[in-house]
Amino acid sequence: MPLFSQTKGRDIVGLSTAETLATVTGLAITVSPARIAALRVKTKSPGTLVTWNHVQAFGPDAITIRSADDIQTEDDTKTPADKKHDPLGKRVLTETGHDLGTLQDIEFDETTGHIQRLILADRDVEGERLLGAGSYAVIVATP
């Protein structure tokens, strides 16, 4: 299973043109079930992303989408795309308010986008414990 840290900087390639259309810079996640909702990407337009349902394949060297039309703006998808919503580097708190540390990485299934585990400096948290993610913190269920 890949880690998100290995995904940053990966090219997004259009199947219809065989051209590099964007580069992955971050991600947006959703809960219930815990999964990657979108990849935040760098293009000429700010606030752009590729929602997970537009990912055709997630390979070790590139991520493919059908065409440039699959790259959307945050307004088009209602998915938080700006950097403040990227969960990496955020505090991880339990639902009872205990600080577990800082989220360093996310392991996910490259086929479905489901989050397998949240990786902190001194522990891992199962992905199914994810309850919420925002501009301040990531919240997980108390074990």
Instruction: Check residue 80 and give its pLDDT.
Output: 52
The domain that holds 106 is classified in CATH as 2.30.30.240
Identify the pLDDT of residue 142.
Answer: 93
Distances (CA, A) of 42 to 120, 121, 127, 133: 26, 28, 27, 22
What confidence score (pLDDT) does residue 13 get?
97
In the listed set 62, 83, 104, which residue is the last one of a domain according to the structure?
Answer: 83
**According to the model, what pLDDT value does residue 82 have?**
47
Report helix, strand or coil for 131.
strand
Domain that holds residue 58: 4-83
pLDDT at position 47 is 73
pLDDT digits (tens, 9 = 90+) for 15-52: 999 999 999 999 989 888 899 999 999 997 777 899 99
**Token representation of residue 127:** 């992905």
What is the rounded distance in angstroms from the CA atom of residue 143 to the CA atom of residue 140? 9
Per-residue pLDDT band for 109 (boundaries 50, 70, 90) equals: very high
State the pLDDT confidence band at 128, using cuts at 50, 70 and 90: very high
60-103 pLDDT, tens per residue?
999 999 999 999 987 665 555 445 568 999 999 999 999 999 99
Give, for 19, the enclosing helix (H) or strand (E).
none
Residue 96 sits in the same domain as residue 135: yes
Compute CA 100 distance to the chain's CA centroid, rounded to the nearest angstrom: 20
C-alpha 121, offset from chain centre: 19
